Structure 1
Amino acid sequence: MADINASIHFLLLIFLSSTFLHLETVKLGSCNGVLNASCTEIERKALVNFKQGLTDPSDRLSSWVGLDCCRWSGVVCSSRPPRVIKLKLRNQYARSPDPDNEATDDYGAAHAFGGEISHSLLDLKDLRYLDLSMNNFGGLKIPKFIGSFKRLRYLNLSGASFGGTIPPHLGNLSSLLYLDLNSYSLESVENDLHWLSGLSSLRHLNLGNIDFSKAAAYWHRAVNSLSSLLELRLPGCGLSSLPDLSLPFGNVTSLSVLDLSTNGFNSSIPLWLFNFSSLAYLDLNSNSLQGSVPEGFGFLISLDYIDLSFNILIGGHLPRNLGKLCNLRTLKLSFNSISGEITELIDGLSECVNSSSLESLDLGFNYKLDGFLPNSLGHLKNLKSLHLWGNSFVGSIPNTIGNLSSLQEFYISENQMNGIIPESVGQLSALVAADLSENPWVCVVTESHFSNLTSLIELSIKKSSPNITLVFDVNSKWIPPFKLSYLELQACHLGPKFPAWLRTQNQLKTVVLNNARISDSIPDWFWKLDLQLELLDFSNNQLSGKVPNSLKFTENAVVDLSSNRFHGPFPHFSFNLSSLYLRDNSFSGPIPRDFGKTMPRLSNFVVSWNSLNGTIPLSMAKITGLTNLVISNNQFSGEIPLIWNDKPDLYEVDMANNSLSGEIPSSMGTLNSLMFLILSGNKLSGEIPFSLQNCKDMDSFDLGDNRLSGNLPSWIGEMQSLLILRLRSNFFDGNIPSQVCSLSHLHILDLAHNYLSGSVPSCLGNLSGMATEISDYRYEGRLSVVVKGRELIYQSTLYLVNSIDLSDNNLLGKLPEIRNLSRLGTLNLSINHFTGNIPEDIGGLSQLETLDLSRNQLSGPIPPSMTSLTSLSHLNLSYNSLSGKIPTSNQFQTFNDPSIYRNNLALCGDPLPLKCPGDDKATTDSSRAGNEDHDDEFEMRWFYVSMGPGFVVGFWAVFGPLIINRSWRRAYFRFLDEMKDRVMVVITVNVARLQKKCKWERRQHGT
C-alpha cells in the first residue's frame, strides 16, 4: 500500500510540477530561496507577523532572520520577480494522523507549531503552496481568509488539530489541485459540502476522519461536481450508506484511487464500482459490507489494489473472475466471512498469460475458507506477501511453494494444516518472516527445511496444544544460513539438549522456547551472546542451573523462566524489564532490598511457587507502574509493607500461602483498579480495613486461612463485580450482612470455619450468578475449594465452580431458600445450629454435586424430591434428628455408606441396620419360606445319599442267602419280606413329599 501511495503521489507531483513550470520558472537557492533574489519588504513583514503569532517550542523558525526571506527555512520563492510561492511548514517529526498516536507522539508534539494564523499571510499574493500539516493548533478554526488565495494549488492542513467546521470559503479556491484536510478534530454541519463544487480543478481530495454523517445522504452529489478528480479519500467519515445509483459519479470518470474505508456502510458491494475503468486502487476495508465478492470484479482490468478487509462478505467460492485481474498487485479480503475453497481463485490467477502481477494476497481470518492449498500456488511467481492465517485450510503446504522465489512474508497460522511442511520451503531465499503457528503439523523438521533461507529474520511455530507432533531433528553441529531476530518455537520438540544451533544467532531480540522438552542446563555460550533481548521465554521446560546476571534487555523487555528447575538466589536483571515471570522454580533467599529501585519500570512481577524468604522489600513502592504482583507460595515473613500509594494500574495482588503477619494496610484501599486481592494462608490479624470499600471493581476477594476478626463489612455488597468471596478459617463473628445478596455475579461464597451467628439472609437465593451460565471466560486465578468432602485446587476451570460453604459457624434458624440457584454445585451448611425440615424444593438444584447438612438439628423426613438430584455424588446428613425412610431410587442407590446417615436415630431403611415399620412382616414371611426351603433341601439330600447304600444292601440281601444253606435262605427270605415292607413305606413317604415340593415350586413361579 505504501508503494502504491508513493507512486500515485509521485505522478501527482510530476503533474503539479509541470503545471507550475508552465506558469513560471522556479529556481532554488542555497537554502529554500533562490540565487541572487530577495523577497519584497511586504512579504518579509507578512512572514515576520505570521511567525510572531505562532508558538515554536523547538525553534524550527530560527532561520527567519535577515532581509532575504527567500532563504528562510520552509519558504520557497519564484525567480523573476522573486515572490513567495510556497510555505512548507509540515512537522516532519510527527507521525501520520491517528487517534491512537496523538496522545503518545510526544516527540512530534515537541516540534509542533501552535498559536494563531496571522491575516498578514494575505500579503503573499502569489502563494501557490501552503502546508501546515502535522502541527498542533489546539482546535483553532481554519481561517476563512485562506479562501482568498486565488492562485493556491496545494493546501495541506491534515493532522494539524484545527477544529470547528470547514469554512465554505475554501470553495473559492478554483485553482486548487490538491486538498488534504484529514483530521480527527474537524466536523461538518448539514449541507456544508456544497463548497466542493467550486473546486473545479481539484485532482486530489482527502477529507478523511471528518464526520460527514449529517451529509451522508448526498455526499456523492458534491463529489460528482469534481470532474477532474483522480484521487478520492474519505476514510472514517461516518458515511453510513453507499449510493445505489448505477453510476453516482457520472462526471468523475478518471478516478484512479478510491478510499472509502472505515465507514458504516451496511450494504452489498455496489456494481457501479465496475464502471471506473481507470480505477487502480480500491479500499473498502472496515465497513459492514455484506454478501459475496461480485463476479464483476474481473472486469476492473486496471485495478492493482483491492482492500475489502473487515467487512461481512459471505458466500461460496471466491469468484473465478478475480483471476482475470492479471494487473492486480494487492488483494486484501481479510476479516470477512468468506467460505468455500481457495482453489478456484489461485487457479484463476495462475492462468494469466504473462504470469500474474499479484504481489500481496491477504485472505486472513475468514475462518470458513477451507480446502487444500493447490499446487497452482507455486505459479504466482511475483508473490511477495502471502497472508492465509485464521482460516480452515487442511493438509500440507504444496511442494510448489519452493517456486515463489520473491516471497518475503508467509503467514499461515491458525489453520488446520495437519500434513507436512515440505523441504521445498527451504528454497525461499527471499523469505524474511514465516509464521506457521497454531496448526496440528505432523512432521519432522530438518536442516533441509532451512537450507537456503538466507534472508530469514522472523520464525514462529507455536501450538497451544501440549500434544507435540512437530519435531526438530537437526545436527548438533548445524550452522543455520540465517540470522534471526525473532524466534518463537512453542510446543515443538527441540530437546532434550539445549539447541546448539543458537550459538550463531547473535542478533536475536525475541527468543521463545516454551514447552520444548528441553531438560538441560543453559550453556554458558548462550549467556555470552551479548544479546539485547525484548523477550526471553524458556518457560515450561526442565531447564536447571543458576541464572547469571549478565543478560541485557531493551526497554520494556519481558522475561519468562517459569515452570523449570532453576535454583540459586534471586537473579538480578537490568532495569529495563517490564515483566518478570519466575514462578514454579526453586529460587531461594530474599528479594534484594533495592529491587524496586533497580526495576522501576516493572509492570508484571510473578515469582510464586519458589522458596524465597525474608521480607517484602519496601523499595517496591518505587515501582509506580506495577499491574500484577504475585508472590504466593513462598516463605515470606514480616508485615505487608506500605508500598501501595501511586499504583493506579495495579489490578492483582496475590500473597497467599506465606507467613505474613500484622494487619492489612489501609493504604491498599487506594488501589482503585484492584480486581484480585488474594492474601489467604498467612497469619494476618485485625479487621478488614474500611478503606477497601474503594476497590469496587474487585473480582476475587480471598482473605481465607488467617487470623482476621470482627464483623463482615456490609460494604462488600458494593463490589458489584465480585465473583469470589472467600473468608474461611478466620475469627469473624456477627451476622452475615444481607448486602451480600446484591452480589449478582458471585459464584463462590466461602465463609466456613468462623464464628458467624444469627440466621442466613433469606435473600441468599438472589445470587443470580449461580443460576445463569457464564457467557465469557474470565481469569480468576488459582483457588482451593472444598468439594466432595476434599480440598481441590481449580485454575483453568475455576469459572465453572459454583459453591456456597457456610460450614462450622454458629448459624441458626431454618435452611436458606436457595431453590433458584439452579447451577449451584456445592452446598455445605454443616456444623451449625440449623433447625426445621430440609426444604422440599431442594430437588430443584439440578446440578448439585455436593450436599453436606451434617451436624445440625434438622428434623423431619428426607424429601422425596432429593431423588431427582441426579448429579449428586457426595452426601452427608449425619448427626441430625431426621426421621422416616431413606429414599432408595436414583442416586440414593449409590449412597450405601451408613456413615452418611449416622446419628439420625429415627431414620430407617438401607443402608442402616434399623428397619422401617412394615419391613418386619416381609422379613418374617421371607424367613418362614426360607426355613421350609431348608427342610426340603435337607430331605432331598438325604434321599439321594441313601439310594447308594440301599442298592448295595438290597443286592446282597437277595443273592447272599443263596450262597448259604437252605435254613438260612428261608430265614433271610422271611427277613427280606419284612424289610421289603419297611422300605416301601419309606419310599412312599419320600415320593409324596417330593411331589408336594414340586407342586409348591410351580405355584410360586405361576406355572
Structure 2
Amino acid sequence: MADPTQLVRFVTILAMCFLLFHRSSSALPPTTAGTLCIPRERDALLDFKAGLTDPGNLMSSWRGVECCRWTGVVCSNRTGHVVALQISSESMDKLGGEIRSSLLTLRHMKQLDLSGNDFGGQPIPELIGTLGRLTHLDLSYSNFSGRIPPHLGNLSNLVSLRLKYMAHGSYSPDLAWVSRLRKLQVLWITYVDLSAVADWFHAINMLPYLIDLDLTSCGLQNIVPPPVHSNLTSLESLTLDLNPFNTSLGAKNWVWNLPSLQGLSLSSCGIHGPIPDAVGNLTSIQTLDLGFNMFTGIVPSTIKKQKKLQNLLLHYNFINMDVAELLHRLPSNELYVLFLEENHLTGSLPDQLGHFSNLTIIALDNNKLSGEIPVGIRELINLSDISLTSNNLHGTITEDHFTNLTNLQFLYISDNSLTVKVDSTWKAPFSLVQADFRSCILGPQFPSWLNQPHMIDLDVSNTSIHDNIPVWIANSSAQYLNLSRNRLAGMLPTFSLSSPLRILDVSSNQIVGRFQHFQTT
C-alpha cells in the first residue's frame, strides 16, 4: 500500500498543475484550433450587424467563427481582440439602422470608421463616447443629425476626429467637449452649425498637438485676435471656408502667426480690406487660398518671403494693381497654381512670365489686362491650363507662342481682340481637351489644327471663319461644339448615333439645305 503522505503530495502537485494549465489556457484568445477571434467579441459583432440595414450586402462576409477575417474587422495578431472596425461605404448601397450597445463589448477597439453610410438623420449615439480607447473616429458623410453629443469629449485618447458633411441639422452649442481632447492631431467638423459658439478659438487653442483643422461652413462669426499664448504651434493645415466672418484681417490676427502652417484656406468668408504685410510671416505656407472675398488694394511685397508657396488663390476679390508688378512680387521657384481671375488687375503681361517655370495653371480672366500676349509664355513648359478670357488683350498669337507647351490641355482666350495665325499645315505640340476662342479671329479657313483626338469642348463662335464645316467634326470626340456667328456654308456632316456630341450650335451661319439626321452605325 502506498505511503499516504506521498499520495497526498502527488494529488496536491496534480491539482496545482491543473490550476496552472487552466489559468494559462483561459488567457489565450483562441477557442478553436487556428481561430484568433474571441467568442464574446464575435457575438457582439453579430449583434451589432443585426441592428443594421445592409441593402448592398456589404457585410456578407460576417459569418463563420473567424471574425478577424470579416470585411472591415481588424484584430490584434497578439491578443486576438478587435482593434478596428472600418465599415465605411463609397457605394450607393449604404449601411443604416441602429448602432447597438453591443459595440461596447469591443473594449480594445482603437479605430471606428462608419463614414459614407446613411443613418437616416438620427443623432450620433452617446454610447460612442464611452469607447475610451478610441484613437480614430470617422463619422463623415454618414447622415447623422441633431446635437453632437458632448460625450465625445470623454474620448481622451482620440488622435483623429472626423465629422465632415454630417446631415443638415447637425449642431453643437459649444465646443467645451473638444477642449478635453488634448491628444487631437486631426479635427474635421464641417457643415455643422456652430453659430452659437462664441469662444470657438479658445476651445481649439487647448489642443497643442493639432496638425489639421477643418471647420468649413460652420456658421462661425468671429475670428478673434491672438490669445496671450497660442498653443497651435504644430498646426499645418487650417481650413475655415464659408464662414461669415465679414471682417478685415489685421496684421496681429492669429492666422498670420502659425509657424508650421502649410495650408491656409479662407475662401468665401466675407473678408474685406487689404491683405496685410503680415501674410509674409507664413514662411512655411504651400497653399494660400483667399478667394471669393473682398480683399482690396495690392498684394504686399512680403509675400515674396513665401519661398515654398505652390498654390496661390486670390480669385474673385477686388485687388487693384498692375499685373506685372504683382507677378514680380510673387515667389517664382515653386509656384504651380495661380488663380487671379475676377479682380481689377491692369497693365500688360510681362515677357518674364516664363520665370514661373513650374506653373501648371494660370487664370487671369475677367480683369482689365491690355497689350499683347508675350512670346515668353512658351517658356511655361509645364503649363496645362491658361485662362485669359474677357480682358482687353490684342495682337497676334502664332506658332512661336506654343512652341514648348506640350502639356497644354485647356486654353481659354475668348472675348479679346486676339488673332490666332498659324500655318495651315501646323501640327499643334499639345492635345487640347477644352478650348474657347469666342470673338477672336481664327478664320477665314476652319483651323485644321483643332482636329484633336481628346477635344470634348470647343467654342469657335464669332471667329470670322468663312469656310465649309469640315467633315472631321462628325468624327470628333467633342460633346459641346459652338460654331455660331460665323460664315459657315454647305451641309452639316452626318453624325452617327454613337457620337458623344450633346450640344451643337451652328446658328447665324450660311448653312443651306436640310439638316442630316443622325445615322446608326
Which TM-score band (shorter chain)? Answer: 0.7 to 0.9
The answer to whether 1:358 aligns with 2:335 is yes
CA distance in 1, matches of 2:50, 2:434: 50
Counterpart code for 2:469: I
Q: Partners in 1 of 2:207 and 2:349 — Cα distance?
A: 45
Match of 2:17 in 1: none
Name the aligned partner's letter for residue 457 of structure 2: T
Equivalent in 551, 556, 559 of residue 496 of structure 2? 551
Quote the residue 1:319 is aligned against: 300
Higher RCO (C-alpha under 8 Å, 6+ residues apart)? 2
Counterpart in 1 of 2:482?
Answer: 537
Give yes or no for the alignment of 1:432 onto 2:409.
yes
2:18 maps to what in 1?
A: none
- The one-letter amino acid of 2:318's match is S
| 2:171 is equivalent to residue 188 of structure 1 | yes
Return the match for 2:428 from 473, 480, 484: 480
Q: What CA distance in whole angstroms lies between the structure 1 residues aligned with 2:435 and 2:337?
A: 24
The CA distance in 2 between the partners of 1:69 and 1:295, in whole Å, is: 58
Higher helix share: 1
1:825-844 equivalences under 5 Å are none
> Which piece of structure 1 moves more, 249-258 or 277-286?
249-258
In structure 2, the residue matched to 1:390 is: 366
Query: Residues 498 and 385 of structure 1: is their aligned pair in 2 closer, same or farther, counting only changes over 3 Å?
Result: closer
Provide closer, same or farther for how the CA distance between residues 262 and 348 of structure 1 changes in structure 2, counting only shifts above 3 A: same
Q: Does 1:269 align with 2:256?
A: no
Of 172, 178, 186, 2:160 maps to 178
- Distance, in Å, in 1 between the alignment partners of 2:376 and 2:470 is 39
Say whether 1:47 aligns with 2:45. yes
In structure 1, distance between residues paired with 2:148 and 2:506: 56
Query: Aligned to 2:72, which of 66, 74, 95?
Result: 74
**Aligned-residue offset at 1:163:** 0.7
Distance in structure 1 (CA, Å) of the matches to 2:503 and 2:473: 17
1:525 to partner: Cα distance:
4.7
Q: 1:133 maps to which residue? A: 115
Q: Report whether the alignment pairs 1:219 with 2:200.
A: yes
Equivalent in the alignment of 2:139: 157
- The amino acid of 1:551's aligned partner reads S
Question: 1:513 maps to which residue?
Answer: 460
Amino acid at match of 2:311: T
Partner of 1:906: none
Q: Distance in 2 between matches of 1:327 and 1:84?
A: 42
Q: Give, as a single letter, the amino acid of the residue that structure 1 aligns with 2:270.
A: S
Alpha carbons of 1:306 and 1:499: their partners in 2 closer, same or farther (altered >3 Å)? Answer: closer
Verify: 1:409 aligned to 2:368, yes or no: no
- How far 1:242 sits from its partner (Å)? 1.1
Query: What does residue range 663-674 of structure 1 map to in structure 2 within 5 Å?
Result: none
Displacement of 1:425 after TM fit? Answer: 3.6
Amino acid at match of 2:155: L
Partner residue in 2 for 1:62: 60
Shift of 1:322: 0.6
Aligned to 1:746: none
Looking at structure 1, the residues matched to 362 and 487 of structure 2 have their Cα atoms a distance apart, in angstroms, of 36
Alignment of 1:695-710 (within 5 A): none
Q: Which amino acid aligns with 1:545?
A: G
Matched, 1:242 2:242: no
Alpha-carbon distance in structure 1 between the residues aligned to 2:481 and 2:497: 11
Deviation at 1:121?
0.8
- Percent identity over the alignment is 39
Deviation at 1:84, TM superposition (A): 1.0
CA contact (8 A) 2:308 2:334 kept: yes
Q: Which ranges of structure 2 fall in alignment gaps of 5 or more residues? A: 1-32
**Structure 1 contact 224–248 (Cα < 8 Å) conserved:** no
CA distance in structure 2 between the aligned counterparts of 1:420 and 1:556, rounded to whole angstroms: 31
* Contact persistence 2:403–2:429 (CA under 8 A): no
C-alpha deviations, 1:780-824, integer Å up to 9, x for none? xxxxxxxxxxxxxxxxxxxxxxxxxxxxxxxxxxxxxxxxxxxxx
TM-score if structure 2 supplies the norm length? 0.87
Aligned partners of 2:410 and 2:433 also within 8 Å: no
Specify the alignment match of 1:83 in structure 2.
81
* Equivalent position SS for 1:180: strand
Change beyond 3 A, Cα 1:409–1:131: same
Preserved contact between residue 112 and residue 135 of structure 1 (Cα < 8 Å):
yes
1:343 aligns with 2:288: no
How far residue 208 of structure 1 moved from its aligned partner, in angstroms, is 1.0
Report the CA distance between 1:75 and its aligned residue: 1.1
SS at match of 1:165: coil
Cα distance, 1:574 vs structure 2: 7.5
SS in 2 for 1:533: coil
**Residues 273 and 150 (structure 1), Cα distance of their counterparts in 2 relative to 1, 3 Å cut:** same
2:437 alignment partner, SS class: strand
**What letter corresponds to residue 62 of structure 2 in structure 1?**
W
Judged with a 3 Å threshold, the aligned counterparts in structure 2 of structure 1 residues 405 and 541 are, in CA distance, closer, same or farther, namely closer
Is the contact made by 1:326 and 1:349 (CA closer than 8 Å) also made in structure 2? Answer: no
Q: Measure the CA separation in 2 of the matches of 1:260 and 1:345.
A: 26
**Higher gyration radius (CA):** 1
Tell me the C-alpha RMSD between the 2 structures. 2.4
Query: CA offsets, 1:181-214, max 9 Å, x none?
Result: 1124253353x31111221111100111111111
> Secondary structure at 1:174's aligned position in 2?
coil
Answer whether contact 1:347 1:376 (CA < 8 A) is retained: no
The aligned residue for residue 779 of structure 1 is none
C-alpha distance in 1, partners of 2:437/2:104? 63
- What displacement does 1:324 show? 1.3
Return the letter of the residue paired with 2:350.
P
Matches within 5 A, 1:222-301: 222-243=203-224, 245-247=225-227, 250-270=230-250, 271=252, 272-301=254-283
Which one-letter code corresponds to 1:377 in the other structure? L
Change (3 A) 1:284 1:198: same
2: CA distance, partners of 1:262 / 1:61: 37
* Offset, 1:400: 2.7
Provide structure 1 residue ranges, at least 5 long, that are not aligned to the other structure.
1-34, 94-109, 447-473, 576-1007
Alignment-mate amino acid for residue 379 of structure 1: H
Partner amino acid, structure 2, of 1:120: S
Note the alpha carbon deviations across 1:126-160, whole angstroms, 9 max, x for none: 11111111111110110111011111010000111
Q: For 1:177 and 1:301, how far apart are their aligned partners in 2?
A: 27
Q: Secondary structure at the match of 1:536?
A: strand
User: 1:303: which partner in 2?
Assistant: 285
8 Å Cα contact 1:396/1:420 also seen in 2: yes
1:816-851 per-residue CA deviation (whole Å, 9 max, x = no partner) reads: xxxxxxxxxxxxxxxxxxxxxxxxxxxxxxxxxxxx
Kept after mapping to 2: 8 A contact 1:349/1:356: no
- Whether the aligned pair in 2 keeps the contact of 1:320 and 1:344 (CA below 8 Å) is no
Q: Number of aligned residue pairs: give it.
A: 484
Q: Over residues 388-442 of structure 1, what are the superposed CA-to-partner deviations in whole Å (9 max), with x where a residue is unaligned?
A: 222112112233322222222222222222344462343222323221222222x
* Separation of aligned partners in 2, 1:242 and 1:74: 40
1:200 aligns with one of 169, 182, 191:
182
Q: Is 1:220–1:249's contact at 8 Å kept on the other side of the alignment?
A: no
Q: CA deviation at 1:550?
A: 3.2
Distance 1:342 1:542 in 2: 37
Which of 394, 399, 402 is 1:418 aligned to?
394
CA distance in 2: counterparts of 1:375 and 1:543, whole angstroms: 36
Once the two structures are TM-superposed, the CA of residue 526 in structure 1 deviates from its matched residue by: 4.2
Q: Does the residue aligned with 2:151 lie in a helix, a strand or coil? A: helix
State the shift of 1:378 in Å.
2.1
SS in 2 for 1:301: coil
The offset of 1:234, in angstroms, is 0.6
Q: 1:300 to 1:164 in 2, by over 3 A?
A: same
